[in-house]
């Protein structure tokens, strides 16, 4: 708990803002736990949490944007080559790379959970082993996914895509094979650093990848982890222990992968389905252009979600349930404000959005028709990814996986297919299915979060870390 000096500094009328940034989580936890907070103090506590939130998420957002720019700019160039080329690149990006990235990102969320909670509990020595264990599993997944990339043409044909679009998609997918191995190593490294609140170096490294590719990011991440004094306690060198006790971590990884894959593949699956509509080129081009802009918003939300995951996992690991709950409150308010701004921008520039990608008048008109749905999706993104970040930070991946399966694939997907193929809505009907599924998932996550017993979550975290520490010691003893 916080020191007496820190606690007493918070109890007066708080006329001075300068004292708040110096307070520790322990002092805030004591205050939230023992007193009813007067209304005039809330905005200062919000400023305290916002400072921590943006110090974590600012660089993460930059990293996400720079990484996304690689895909965004590539698809822009493909669009100016022709409508079929844009459709092929979109289908490969969504159907092949999206599937692979869903697996990798899902697996990496386990690193956020375990490393974040270990860092909050100051069990630093276990974190390097967790990172290595994750890289081993990610590389194994990359080897298996290589076959999907190589045979992407037949795969796309098998799910009903047009032959010319599948052929262009295969060409695009073959060029992406080296990237999946870089991503397999980079993704756990980034989560390892984020769990320690080390985010600014990631922004500098990610900026360089625009010209020097993903492998440079892997090398720089590795060198920083090995050489930086900030990681001296959490990275103690390569160890055979990374291969020991891998089964419990593998189970959490599977739950994490299933949770995020069901989420990521849902919207991407709808894009694939749009390729089965009449005029598949126009349908694919219009929905993929809108999805690119939705992904711009997602980069901000993913950065905030990553920060939320770190904040929640760190505070739970440190035994601060009230601060963890308060962090969830602040980040949701912040993300909603950002999403409202983005929704207004989408509606204001609905014609100009498509002109970066194409000069085809039919595609431009189709994109304009979809922008109201895009604005609704952007608004929903103000809550849904953040709550997923809370789930990752708390280790709820298995529960949320069932929520995603139900709301997306039992409710949203069938509705989207019916509206898309059985009515005149077409691609708009498919998007309505996306919105309905996300809405139900968001409502469910709000209920789960609102009903969370944060004191019980602290106890679960302590037990998880105790079990992990015991397994690590047993592994070292057996070497």
Residue range 65-77, pLDDT digits in tens: 776 776 676 667 6
Residue 470 pLDDT? 61
Beta carbons of 120 and 318 less than 8 angstroms apart: yes
Beta carbons of 291 and 267 less than 8 angstroms apart: yes
For the chain, what are the domain ranges?
51-244, 259-470
C-alpha torsion sign, points 181, 102, 166, 86: negative
* Tokens found for residue 465: 């870390």
Residue 7 pLDDT? 40
CA neighbor of 123 nearest in space, from 397, 470, 457, 477: 470
Residue 432 pLDDT? 92
Q: How many residues would you count in the chain? A: 479
* Tokens found for residue 210: 């625009």
Contacts of range 132-136, beta carbons closer than 8 Å, 24 or more positions apart: 132/238, 132/239, 132/242, 133/242, 133/243, 133/246, 133/249, 134/107, 134/108, 134/110, 134/188, 134/191, 134/192, 134/249, 134/253, 135/184, 135/185, 135/188, 135/189, 135/242, 136/242, 136/243, 136/246
Residue 4 pLDDT? 44
Residues 251-276 have pLDDT tens digits of: 767 776 777 677 777 777 777 787 78
Query: What does DSSP assign to residue 356?
Result: T
Residue 478 pLDDT? 53
C-alpha torsion sign, points 350, 353, 359, 363: negative
Which stretches of the chain drop beneath a pLDDT of 70? 1-23, 34-35, 37, 67, 70-71, 73-75, 77, 79-81, 83, 94, 199-217, 245, 249, 252, 256, 260, 393-394, 464-479
CA neighbor of 374 nearest in space, from 289, 442, 263, 304: 289
Q: How far is CA 222 from CA 108, 231, 290, in A?
A: 16, 11, 35
Residue 362 pLDDT? 83
Residue 213 pLDDT? 55
């Amino acid at each position: 708990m916080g020191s007496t000096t820190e606690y007493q500094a918070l109890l007066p009328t708080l006329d001075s803002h300068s004292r708040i940034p110096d307070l520790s989580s322990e002092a805030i936890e004591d205050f939230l736990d023992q007193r009813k907070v007067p209304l005039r103090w809330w905005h200062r506590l919000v400023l305290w949490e916002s400072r921590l939130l943006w110090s974590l998420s600012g660089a993460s957002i930059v990293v996400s944007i720079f990484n996304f720019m690689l895909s965004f700019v590539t698809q822009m160039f493909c669009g100016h080559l022709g409508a079929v080329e844009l459709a092929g690149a979109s289908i490969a990006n969504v159907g092949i790379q999206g599937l692979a990235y869903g697996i990798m990102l899902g697996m990496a969320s386990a690193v956020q959970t375990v490393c974040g909670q270990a860092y909050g509990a100051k069990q630093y020595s276990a974190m390097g082993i967790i990172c290595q264990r994750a890289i081993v599993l990610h590389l194994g997944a990359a080897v298996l996914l290589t076959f999907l990339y190589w045979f992407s043409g037949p795969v796309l044909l098998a799910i009903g895509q047009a032959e010319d679009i599948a052929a262009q998609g295969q060409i695009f997918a073959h060029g992406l094979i080296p990237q999946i191995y870089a991503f397999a190593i980079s993704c756990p490294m980034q989560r390892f650093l984020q769990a320690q609140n080390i985010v600014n170096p990631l922004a500098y490294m990610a900026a360089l990848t625009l010209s020097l590719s993903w492998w440079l990011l892997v090398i720089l991440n590795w060198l920083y982890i090995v050489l930086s004094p900030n990681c001296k306690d959490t990275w103690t060198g390569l160890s055979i222990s990374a291969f020991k006790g891998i089964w419990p971590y593998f189970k959490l990884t599977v739950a994490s992968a299933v949770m995020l894959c069901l989420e990521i593949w849902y919207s991407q699956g709808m894009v694939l389905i749009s390729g089965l509509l009449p005029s598949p080129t126009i349908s694919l081009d219009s929905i993929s252009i809108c999805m690119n802009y939705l992904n711009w918003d997602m980069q901000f939300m993913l950065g905030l979600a990553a920060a939320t995951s770190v904040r929640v996992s760190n505070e739970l690991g440190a035994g601060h349930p009230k601060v963890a709950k308060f962090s969830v409150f602040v980040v949701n308010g912040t993300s909603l404000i950002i999403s409202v701004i983005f929704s207004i921008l989408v509606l204001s520039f609905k014609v100009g959005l498509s002109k970066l990608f194409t000069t085809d008048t039919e595609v431009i008109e189709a994109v304009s028709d979809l922008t109201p749905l895009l604005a609704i999706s952007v608004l929903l993104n103000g809550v849904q990814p953040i709550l997923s970040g809370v789930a990752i930070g708390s280790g709820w991946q298995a529960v949320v996986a069932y929520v995603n399966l139900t709301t997306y694939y039992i409710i949203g997907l069938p509705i989207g297919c019916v509206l898309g193929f059985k009515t005149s809505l077409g691609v708009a009907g498919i998007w309505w299915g996306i919105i309905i599924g996300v809405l139900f998932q968001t409502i469910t996550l709000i209920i789960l979060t609102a009903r969370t017993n944060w004191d019980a979550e602290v106890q679960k975290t302590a037990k998880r870390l105790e079990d992990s520490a015991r397994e690590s010691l047993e592994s070292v003893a057996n070497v």
